[in-house]
Amino acid sequence: MYSSIMVPVDLAHLDKIDKALQAAADLARHYGAAVHYVAVTSAAPSEVAHNPAEFAEKLDSFVAAQARAHGIDARAHPIRSHDPAVDLDQTLRNAGDAIGADLIVMASHVPGFADHIFHAHGGYVASHSDLSVFVVR
């Protein structure tokens, strides 16, 4: 049913996406699908990495650990964006198409007051993508 699963990851908040990571790994094993971990960064230094090359190395290390831990075919896709705070939603939507994913599994958050002012990334991707999207809370 699924052969290519995309999982957006935020390397600064891996502790908050455990359920989504587990769901993606379980689906990948069940369907024999490859998991494409997508992480978005800018050229500017961040709390995760000093530059895009270091960011890519950290994503590669994370993806290798996921492959070992879950016994899955896992691939890293670091994406550089001019301004991730502004264009993250569209960047993720485009990444799913570019990768050839047939499912996106992404973490959500517990809704709160801020959701009345700011939108959720999972909601945007689910609403605007032609792909199936599984938002895990």
pLDDT tens readout for residues 45-89: 999 999 999 999 999 999 999 999 999 999 999 999 998 878 888
Q: 45 or 133: which carries more pLDDT confidence? A: 45
Cα distance between residue 95 and residue 77, in whole Å: 9
Sign, Cα dihedral of 108, 97, 100, 69: negative
Percent of the chain with pLDDT strictly greater than 70: 85
Q: What is the pLDDT of residue 71?
A: 98
One-character DSSP codes across 66-101 = HHHHHT-EEEEEEEE-S-HHHHHHHHHHHHHHHHT-
The whole-chain average pLDDT of the chain stands at 87
Q: What is the pLDDT of residue 120?
A: 56
Mean per-residue pLDDT, 16-29? 96
Domain annotation for the chain: domains and CATH numbers: 4-136 (3.40.50.620)
Q: What is the pLDDT of residue 135?
A: 85
Cα distance between residue 10 and residue 82, in whole Å: 17
